[in-house]
Structure 1
């Protein structure tokens, strides 16, 4: 019920932004809404770092179980990338027929192209690390309440809704478009296929690995839920693994955006549940605003799937 209410509030924020844009006119506040989207993403990432730094014993968790979380994350992300690329190439239209626009780029030196790929994700992750460091090393954010992150998400979705109206994006046809409809399937199947190798590289069973990775980037939910089910160590690993998945997506989305249209599928599937909020603007900026529909749909389904799937494995 809490998950449904959370999703309902996100949807309401998006709808309110769309209604507001229609009320004031399609040609008004376009640039302002775009600037505010970017600003809110930066603020959101910063306070995510602050929020993470306030979790009790977080430094101990990173030191003792970080390696297991990293291995599980790499397996889940690798499985997702390989599976989504392989299956999407079979079931989706040719690249020329897809409604995806990749980020423009110029022909430059190899070093310059590499810099263009990594500079944005490095800045984004750096913002998160800055917030985490300040929370751990200073008393500046003792006042911080985690609910602030939620309110920032609502505000971000409001301006995303305005942006969708400005770009005249329609929600029609998602179920009829199998390239969008199958996105959650790519994410779930790819993550679980990658986790099949977990017993070879960690001390955990396939069942445990599937449970820990079933947050699909929703780290706060997965860690708390698994701990509440009576597995605090696995809950800590799941928290870090899903946090790492979200962090990796900041690097991988711009990288895939440089590779071509077909790489929208691994990009959005790597983002997991965050494709409807935290990474939504990043996805749309690298693959075009027409992909917002698929990204939001994917994020909503993954957020609904996580609390259903996690208890099945414990």
Structure 2
């Protein structure tokens, strides 16, 4: 855990003010995600009894996704009643299909790695070590991105809505994860690790795959990707009545991928709440996942 966590901490202490360097870093991070997801596909292709393992991935994905969504939607609406956000909802049409296609491309990258891995005749013993090396670099870049996100500790602490939303999302995801783990007869630590992705599909899939193998990595990736796709559909429909629920269910993506949808349909008052909530959850994903996967099963 310390070995994987170290690059994230080192990166967090690096401050970059040059916008061109930050843009280059963001592009490099995106490219590394695509590379690791492709390697995830290659790793899946080397599994024995591939069809049976794909069924297992589908089963884990469905059970965890349903239980966590039920717990999220059972608790987040309470915040809309206790801590309402006064917003001016906008009737704006968004190219959600285009944004959804960006998410689907990630599935195609994994699928491409799976197909190529099945077709090529050479052993894939190098994939796991290569994935770990790229993971260290990716975590280092993510640490730099979190440090240079523009949020200070004071801004996070003073934004009550963002902090409360992130804590409720975390707790309700764990509750759903434990229910899913009980249904699937999984250990508690593994269930909590699986439910700590909070929408960050790329990193959660990578960390789970590195810890428990490609079946759990693929499942975690799909669970969180489905969260993002559902968020894109639900935010425009419900943010005017339930802003806390809409922002909360977006999870870690509220500070980046789904932020334009939140801003456009919910107005500017939702933006700081979404950024703080998404930032806290993004910071918690590697911390909590690495902690839970380090525990004995």
If the TM-score is normalised by the length of the shorter chain, which range does it land in? 0.5 to 0.7
Deviation at 1:223, TM superposition (A): 5.3
- Is residue 171 of structure 1 aligned with residue 149 of structure 2? no
SS at match of 1:55: helix
SS at match of 1:282: coil
Residues 201-220 of structure 1 correspond to what in structure 2 (within 5 A)? 204-205=184-185, 207-208=186-187, 211=190, 214-216=193-195, 217=197, 218-220=204-206
- Is residue 281 of structure 1 aligned with residue 264 of structure 2? no
- Is residue 118 of structure 1 aligned with residue 118 of structure 2? no
Render the CA deviation track for 1:145-167: whole Å, top value 9, x for unaligned: 221243134335434543426x9
Residues 187-226 of structure 1 correspond to what in structure 2 (within 5 A)? 187-196=173-182, 198=183, 204-205=184-185, 207-208=186-187, 211=190, 214-216=193-195, 217=197, 218-222=204-208, 225=211
Q: Is the CA contact 2:135–2:206 (under 8 Å) kept in the aligned structure 1?
A: no
- Is residue 293 of structure 1 aligned with residue 271 of structure 2? no
Residues 18-33 of structure 1 correspond to what in structure 2 (within 5 A)? 19-21=15-17, 29=19, 33=22
Aligned counterparts of 1:223 and 1:159: Cα–Cα separation in 2: 23
Residues matched between the structures, number: 270
- Is residue 242 of structure 1 aligned with residue 242 of structure 2? no
Residues 121-136 of structure 1 correspond to what in structure 2 (within 5 A)? 121-134=103-116
SS at match of 1:115: helix
Counterpart for residue 247 of structure 2: 264
- Is residue 182 of structure 1 aligned with residue 172 of structure 2? no
* Matching residue within 7, 10, 13 for 2:11: 13
Moved over 6 A (4+): 141-144
Aligned counterparts of 2:295 and 2:146: Cα–Cα separation in 1: 34
Gap runs ≥5 in structure 1 = 199-203, 227-234, 269-274
Aligned counterparts of 1:142 and 1:211: Cα–Cα separation in 2: 25
Counterpart for residue 252 of structure 1: 230
Aligned-residue Cα RMSD (Å) equals 4.3
Aligned counterparts of 2:257 and 2:160: Cα–Cα separation in 1: 24
Q: Is the CA contact 1:192–1:210 (under 8 Å) kept in the aligned structure 2?
A: no
Change (3 A) 1:282 1:212: same
Change (3 A) 1:143 1:116: same
Q: Is the CA contact 2:40–2:214 (under 8 Å) kept in the aligned structure 1?
A: no
Aligned counterparts of 1:175 and 1:7: Cα–Cα separation in 2: 28
Render the CA deviation track for 1:175-194: whole Å, top value 9, x for unaligned: 89422333311210122234
Counterpart for residue 229 of structure 1: none
Q: Is the CA contact 1:42–1:124 (under 8 Å) kept in the aligned structure 2?
A: no
Gap runs ≥5 in structure 2 = 198-203, 264-270
Render the CA deviation track for 1:201-228: whole Å, top value 9, x for unaligned: xxx43x45873563334345545655xx
* Matching residue within 68, 77, 85 for 1:96: 85
Deviation at 1:44, TM superposition (A): 2.9
SS at match of 1:170: helix
Q: Is the CA contact 2:177–2:194 (under 8 Å) kept in the aligned structure 1?
A: no
Deviation at 1:63, TM superposition (A): 1.5
SS at match of 1:238: helix
Counterpart for residue 201 of structure 2: none
Q: Is the CA contact 1:42–1:127 (under 8 Å) kept in the aligned structure 2?
A: no
TM-score by length of 2: 0.68
Change (3 A) 1:42 1:312: closer
Counterpart for residue 267 of structure 2: none
Change (3 A) 1:239 1:116: closer
